[in-house]
Structures are given as C-alpha cells and as structure tokens.
Amino acid sequence: MNRTLKGQGFDPLQPAEASDPGPISIDLPDPSAGTAPLPAETEYEIVGGINQNIKEPDTEASNAASESMLVDTAWEMGDPGSAMGAAEEFAPVDAIFGSYPDLMDNALAEVVIGPDNRVRVQNTAIYPWRAICGLRILAANGARYIGTGWLIGPRTVITAGHCVFLHDAGGWARSIEVIPGLNDATRPFGSHTGTALRSVTGWTQSKNRDHDYGAIILPPDHRPGAQTGTFGFAVRDDAFLRNAALNLSGYPGDKGGSQQWFHAQKAKSLSSRVITYEIDTAGGQSGSPVWVLQNGQRYAVGIHTNGASSGNSATRIVTPVFNNMQNWKNQGA
C-alpha cells in the first residue's frame, strides 16, 4: 500500500527565473515495511573504525565548516569560459577508490556493460546538462579524485557520500571544486570551491552502501544554481520505477573526466534503498543524478554510486534521503 502526499518540497528542474510549478506528488512507502531491527542484546564489533550498530543511519553528518569560515577559505578557480590550467588538472581517478582502494585492482567501481552505448553531451551550456557538475576533490590526505554532482538549489550540490567523505583518504575532503557544465577546457558557469560538506552516519560511520549520499554547500557568494537551474527530486514507488525511463549523465574518467556523457535505460532491479540498472558508466560518474523526465519536468530518483558487471547502481531517494536533501537545499538557499 502506498500513500500520496501533496507538497511544495522542491524545485522541478527549471531555470532560476521560472515561477513556482505548484504541488508535486510523492509516493511514500508503506511504513510497516522495512528490515527487522538489530536485537537489543547483540552488537556488531567495531573494526577499522566502521560501526554497523548505527540505529539512525540517515542522521546528518557534517564537517562543521561554518559559513563565516567558508567566506574566508573558499576560493574560485577560474572564470566563466576560462581554460583549466595544467597545475589544476586532476588525474581521472574516481573518488570511490578513496573508500574502497581494493577496487583499483579490478576496476569495477562503475562499468560499461556490454557495448558502450554512452553518448557525449556536446552542448553542456543548456538545461539540464548545465546543472550537472564535474567535481575535483582534494582529500584530507592530499590525494586527488574526480566525481560528479548536480545542483538542487542555488548553492547545494548533491553527490555520492564517497565523494565528500573518503574513509581511506582521511575522512572529510579538504575541499571540492564544483564546475557546472564542464566541457573539456570550458567552464561556462565558472568554478566554485566548497568546504562545507554533508553526508549521513550510515556512510561516514558504517560505510554502508545503502547510505552513500552527500552534499556540498557552496559559500554564500557562490550561487551557480541561480544561473543553471536545478534538478527536482522525488520519492517514487517500485511500480513507478520498474517502468520508468532512467536517465544518467556525468563525467567519466575513461573519457578524461572533463566531458559529460549520457546513457539511459530502465531499471534492472530494485531494493528498498538501491536502484540497479545496466546504464553504462565509468569511474568519475560517482554522484551523477539518476532522473526521470515526466510531463516536461525532471526529478532525480537516485544518486549514482557504484556497480559491477552484473549492474551499476544508485542510492535510491526514499523518504529519509528526500528529507535530508530538502534540509541541505534549504542550507544552500
């Protein structure tokens, strides 16, 4: 049984000057469903700092960077349309290796399944492609990684949890450069560096793939979403997702990490927290939006995180994820 609520919870993907689109529907899962709780008398051992005993895995986690600190420390790399200098180049290494270094050996962070059906987005200066961002991640230990994010508000960028918190690279990233609509050396909407990072304890403390999502809150004077437009986001039930056309676009490292590539398919399988599909991806697309185009509006239903030859997958936007995203959007208003 599903219930339908009406609300004004988020922006459909519209240019910044568009008017409020009105109510949207959110399919909420049956509250009686879910996994059984961990018995009170038993606990998992904590090994290597990974705590699987977290009772509220969607509790917000933050690196606690203050707004005033951001004004002083965040900086912009490049101007709109400027070329990326050699000193600023990042090797195209996906951020997932910062939490799962063992994946470097088998290169299964994200994969092309069968023939490569990805299509390059040639014009990233138009909507919705301009709301998708290349990420340049500087880890706490000095390692550098790439990823993908997408704007849901003027200053709020959603991405994978492993792009903001890297377990084997010092934890919270030192800084993340956000480049909306990056297209080779061209940055049509400039470049913005954030140090205020968000995720949830299910990722930062438990390294649980089901809770691999996070956000970057850009400084108050950096508002690229006001220029690019933003993605909507929604909770959708199994019946909807099984039949939906799922779209995914991001910045794969096998194409250099500075070109946006797109592919779309239906879901292969669903679980309560994961959407699995055979959409072709590669390392660097971690954090990409997985969205549906419905009645002319675009709503993200997942955050692409990882995969295998049996299927790539996204963290599914369910009610707790939606609520955190709405909170992070408000923080970046």
Can you tell me the distance from the alpha carbon of 264 to that of 63, in angstroms, rounded to the nearest whole number?
34
Q: What is the pLDDT, as a whole number, of residue 31?
A: 38
Instruction: Kindly report which listed range (141-155, 165-179, 222-236, 282-296) carries the lowest average pLDDT score.
Output: 282-296
- Greater pLDDT, 36 or 200: 200
Can you tell me the distance from the alpha carbon of 169 to that of 295, in angstroms, rounded to the nearest whole number? 42
pLDDT over 80 at 130, yes or no: yes
Amino acid at 117: N
pLDDT average, residue stretch 228-235: 97
* 62, 99, 162, 288: the active-site residue: 162
pLDDT for res 110: 54
Please check the confidence at residue 192 and state whether its pLDDT lies above 80. Answer: yes
Per-residue pLDDT at 322 exceeds 90: yes
Please check the confidence at residue 152 and state whether its pLDDT lies above 60.
yes
**Residues constituting the chain:** 333
Q: What is the pTM of this model?
A: 0.77
**CA neighbor of 248 nearest in space, from 145, 329, 132:** 132
Query: Who contacts 249 (Cβ-Cβ below 8 Å, separation ≥6)?
Result: 121, 129, 132, 260, 261, 262, 263, 288, 289
- Give the residue-averaged pLDDT of 269-285: 89
d(C-alpha 223, C-alpha 301), whole Å: 24
- C-alpha distances (whole Å) from 23 to each of 248, 294, 318, 333 are 25, 14, 19, 19
Query: Is 165 in contact with 203 (CB distance < 8 Å)?
Result: yes
Measured CA to CA, the distance from residue 304 to residue 170 in angstroms comes to: 23
Reported as a pLDDT band with limits 50, 70 and 90, residue 310 is confident
pLDDT-wise least confident of 31-45, 127-141, 150-164: 31-45
Counting residues of the chain whose pLDDT is more than 70, the rounded percentage is 70
- H or E element at residue 239: helix 238-243
Confidence of residue 18 (pLDDT cuts 50, 70, 90): very low
Mean pLDDT across the chain, nearest whole number? 78
For 98, list phi and psi in degrees, rounded to 5: -70, -20
pLDDT at site 191: 97
pLDDT at 115 over 70: no
Q: Is 310 a catalytic residue?
A: no
Active-site residue, 211 included: no
Pair of tokens at residue 214: 């996070």
Q: Which of 286, 288, 304, 313 is catalytic?
A: 286
Domains of the chain: 59-331 (2.40.10.120)
Q: What is the pLDDT of residue 116?
A: 72
How confident is residue 112, by pLDDT bands cut at 50, 70 and 90?
low
Average pLDDT on 94-123 reads 71
- In this predicted structure, what is the pLDDT of residue 264? 87
Whether residue 106 is predicted with pLDDT greater than 60 in this model: the reply is no
User: 7-21, 82-96, 176-190, 218-232: which range is least confident on average?
Assistant: 7-21
CA-CA-CA-CA torsion sign (173, 174, 180, 185): negative
Q: 58 to each of 126, 161, 211, 322, how far by Cα in Å?
A: 34, 12, 7, 10
Residue from 129, 128, 127, 135 nearest 157 by CA: 135
d(C-alpha 14, C-alpha 297), whole Å: 8
Q: What is the pLDDT of residues 245-266, one digit of tens each?
A: 899 999 998 899 999 999 888 9
| Cross-strand pairs, 147 | 135
Kindly give, in sequence order, each residue whose CB lies less than 8 Å from that of residue 197, ignoring residues fewer than 6 positions away: 62, 63, 65, 164, 165, 172, 173, 176, 214, 215, 216, 217
Q: What is the pLDDT of residue 162?
A: 94
